[in-house]
């Protein structure tokens, strides 16, 4: 699964979780609201008609309500009356003048379910009559309805089905919309990934994201043009310098070897030759790193013995002549088995050569350098170790983080360009390998390079 698919899958899952959280929070809020409303209002909003009835008693043939009953009516701004079996009012309290004193069975049946002249009423059956409590208009809403029991199950199922269908429809519409966005965004994300790898891109400049596609095409074209211009400039400079540099090296060598010249002049010529050779190596490094960076150096892969490769590199360096301050050793695989890897011999030779030369350059007072080759079932390990002065922790972290080592140097220090290590990294990357820098105990630097054997 590529990066864009993982991104949109996480996006969809997170949205589904948000929808679920939304409904859960809303359900909790509704439950909390009804609980608060019940305990804070509904539970005390109904008139305590049974309690009121107990405080209205029949004494000497007349009904009489006590002080508590009067307070209940006053607090609720309500009125009360008791009807006999014929519907006649035989007792009342605060009864509005517009209400009649006699009610038919039909009237009683009507106001017991609905209203009595806009007054919402509560009724209570007593042994001596029918108690009616009237509340102020608009204080209570009375709605009575009936429903066939056989339809209750399908009604509940229908409500649940509608709710679930709406949820599923919402999720489907969101996913559908997300897929449309994904279809438009995947080429853009892939193009950005290609740009980061230095590859050319081209997007169709149409649809809802046409402006973004056009901008990416423009940026890609600009970056490729800039990279090509830099590569062409480096190649041109290298070509233009090659001839005059060869003449400088030739004349400097000739002057250095002329015994009739003064010793000081010959030493100056030697210095010119050495710095000219250093400049030549720098130009060669620039050309190689440019070719590797822009994939202009195709790998000439073949199967070979890495121990033999390391032996050849060490021999070439020793034959070129190194100072007696340096001790160079080659250690083979102690397992005794033959090691074969597939890769570009020339580039891997350059990799080892750069690592050994770095040990020499960065330890001018001398050191012992060991080159070893080892392996397991799938990995071939190139190790270059020295017991020189090593590097500080900041530089070590920078090397292991694939950063420019010059970023750790102080402004007053001589800046190290680090092209040798950069080329080593590029060669290792071209062979799908990894590189690791560690301190040598008690001092020095160890470089381990892990390359796949197949």
With respect to residue 189, please indicate whether it lies within any of the assigned structural domains.
no
Q: What is the CATH number for 414?
A: 3.30.565.10
With respect to residue 205, please indicate whether it lies within any of the assigned structural domains.
no
Q: Are residues 336 and 425 in the same domain?
A: yes
Distances (CA, A) of 407 to 45, 184, 410: 77, 40, 8
DSSP 8-state assignment for residue 78: -
Contact 379, 343 (CB under 8 A): no
Q: Are residues 128 and 276 in the same domain?
A: no
Q: Are residues 428 and 309 in the same domain?
A: yes
Q: Are residues 105 and 172 in the same domain?
A: no
With respect to residue 198, please indicate whether it lies within any of the assigned structural domains.
no
Name the domain count of the chain: 4
With respect to residue 76, please indicate whether it lies within any of the assigned structural domains.
yes
Contact 313, 349 (CB under 8 A): yes
Q: Of the residues 260, 293, 326, which one is the last residue of a structural domain?
A: 293
Q: Are residues 152 and 11 in the same domain?
A: yes
Closest CA to 436 of 449, 421, 423: 449
| Domain residue limits at 279 | 210-293
Q: Are residues 420 and 323 in the same domain?
A: yes
With respect to residue 141, please indicate whether it lies within any of the assigned structural domains.
no
Q: Of the residues 293, 327, 349, which one is the last residue of a structural domain?
A: 293
Q: Report the distance separating Cα 369 and Cα 390, nearest Å.
A: 12
Q: Are residues 377 and 425 in the same domain?
A: yes
Query: How far is CA 344 from its chain centroid?
Result: 37
Q: Are strands 326-331 and 367-375 parallel, antiparallel or unpaired?
A: parallel
Q: What is the CATH number for 226?
A: 1.20.58
Distances (CA, A) of 377 to 307, 330, 371: 16, 22, 21
Q: Are residues 248 and 331 in the same domain?
A: no
Three-class SS of residue 219? helix
Q: Report the distance separating Cα 403 and Cα 405, nearest Å.
A: 6
Q: Are residues 26 and 175 in the same domain?
A: yes
The pLDDT profile of the chain, 454 residues, written as one tens digit per residue, is: 555 566 666 767 777 777 788 778 888 888 887 777 666 554 445 678 888 888 888 888 788 888 888 888 888 889 999 898 888 988 988 888 888 889 988 888 888 877 888 888 888 888 888 999 888 887 777 666 666 777 778 888 888 888 888 788 877 877 777 777 777 777 877 887 777 766 778 888 777 677 878 888 888 887 777 777 776 776 777 777 778 888 888 888 888 888 888 888 888 988 888 888 778 877 777 777 766 766 655 678 888 888 899 999 999 888 877 888 889 988 865 555 678 888 888 888 888 988 998 898 888 888 999 999 988 878 899 999 999 888 888 888 888 887 766 544 444 444 444 677 888 888 888 888 999 999 888 889 999 999 988 6
Query: How many other β-carbons are positioned within 10 Å of the β-carbon of residue 426?
Result: 19
With respect to residue 203, please indicate whether it lies within any of the assigned structural domains.
no
Q: Are residues 440 and 316 in the same domain?
A: yes
Contact 62, 128 (CB under 8 A): no
Q: Are residues 219 and 364 in the same domain?
A: no
Q: Of the residues 293, 321, 355, which one is the last residue of a structural domain?
A: 293
Instruction: Give burial (CB, 10 Å; 0-12/13-18/19+) of 442.
Output: exposed
Q: Using N-to-C axis directions, what is the helix angle for 345-361 and 306-320, rounded to 10°? A: 50
With respect to residue 28, please indicate whether it lies within any of the assigned structural domains.
yes
- Alpha helices by DSSP H, listed for 197-262, are 210-257
Distances (CA, A) of 141 to 81, 120, 130, 137: 20, 7, 22, 9
Q: Are residues 335 and 435 in the same domain?
A: yes
With respect to residue 401, please indicate whether it lies within any of the assigned structural domains.
yes
């Amino acid at each position: 699964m590529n990066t864009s698919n993982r991104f949109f899958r996480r996006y969809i899952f997170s949205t589904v979780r948000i929808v679920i959280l939304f409904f859960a929070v809303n359900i909790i809020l509704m439950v909390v609201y009804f609980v608060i409303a019940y305990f804070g209002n509904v539970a005390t909003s109904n008139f305590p008609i049974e309690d009121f009835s107990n405080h209205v008693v029949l004494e000497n043939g007349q009904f009489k309500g006590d002080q508590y009953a009067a307070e209940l009516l006053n607090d609720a701004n309500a009125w009360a009356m008791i009807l006999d079996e014929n519907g006649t009012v035989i007792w009342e309290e605060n009864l509005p003048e517009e209400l009649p004193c006699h009610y038919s069975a039909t009237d009683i049946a009507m106001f017991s379910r609905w209203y009595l002249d806009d007054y919402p009423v509560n009724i209570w059956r007593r042994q001596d009559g029918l108690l009616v409590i009237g509340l102020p208009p608009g204080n209570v809403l009375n709605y009575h309805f009936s429903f066939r029991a056989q339809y209750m199950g399908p009604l509940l199922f229908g409500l649940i089905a509608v709710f679930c269908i709406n949820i599923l429809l919402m999720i489907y519409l969101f996913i559908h919309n997300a897929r449309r966005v994904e279809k438009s965004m995947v080429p853009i994300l892939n193009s950005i990934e290609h740009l980061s790898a230095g590859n050319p891109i081209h997007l169709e400049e149409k649809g809802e994201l046409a402006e973004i596609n056009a901008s990416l095409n423009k940026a890609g074209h600009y970056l490729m043009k800039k990279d090509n211009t830099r590569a062409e400039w480096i190649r041109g400079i290298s070509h233009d310098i090659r001839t005059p540099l060869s003449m400088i090296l030739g004349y400097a060598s000739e002057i250095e070897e002329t015994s009739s010249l003064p010793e000081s002049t010959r030493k100056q010529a030697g210095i010119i030759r050495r710095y000219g050779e250093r400049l030549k190596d720098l130009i060669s490094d620039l050309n190689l790193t440019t070719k590797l960076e822009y994939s202009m150096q195709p790998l000439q892969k073949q199967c070979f013995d890495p121990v033999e490769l390391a032996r050849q590199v060490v021999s070439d360096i020793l034959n070129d002549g190194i100072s007696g301050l340096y001790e160079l050793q080659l250690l083979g695989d102690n397992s005794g088995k033959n090691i074969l890897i597939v890769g570009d011999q020339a580039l891997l030779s350059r990799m080892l050569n750069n690592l050994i030369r770095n040990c020499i350059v960065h330890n001018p007072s001398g050191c012992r350098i060991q080159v070893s080759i080892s392996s397991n079932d799938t990995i071939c390990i190139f190790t270059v170790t020295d017991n020189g002065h090593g590097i500080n922790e900041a530089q070590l972290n920078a090397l292991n983080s694939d950063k420019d080592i010059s970023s750790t140097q102080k402004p007053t220090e001589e800046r190290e360009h680090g092209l040798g290590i950069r080329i080593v990294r590029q060669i290792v990357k071209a062979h799908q390998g990894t590189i690791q820098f560690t301190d040598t105990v008690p001092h020095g630097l160890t470089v381990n390079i892990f390359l796949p054997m197949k």
